[in-house]
Amino acid sequence: MLAMKWVLIIFVVLYAIALLLLAIGTFGWFGQERDPLSGVFLMPLGLPWNILADRAGFANAAVAILAPLVNVAILYAIWKRFS
């Protein structure tokens, strides 16, 4: 199940990069202009939980930031279950 471990590691790295880009764009770090679309890379990482939260009326920034953690937990559970 080495492949599943690599999928989990790559997903977590992409999530960390997306969080870093969100922070850079939101706070204007490193001379970057503030950008309201800086969190756009978190959206595909948090699917389908972003859509479910939107339909339930819970769409906000915290959901967009934390939704990928659900996918990380699922990937981790699959990895541990089958390894």
Q: Quick one: what percent of the chain has pLDDT higher than 90? A: 80
Query: pTM, whole model, 2 decimals?
Result: 0.90
Asked whether 34 and 27 are in contact (CB, 8 A), the reply is yes
Mean pLDDT estimate for the chain: 94
Q: Is the pLDDT of residue 7 over 90?
A: yes
Name the H helices within 1-83.
2-27, 42-45, 49-56, 61-82
Q: What's the number of domains the chain is made of?
A: 1
Query: What residues make up the domain containing 16?
Result: 2-82
Chain segment 53-62, per-residue pLDDT in tens: 999 999 898 9
What does the pLDDT read at residue 37? 87
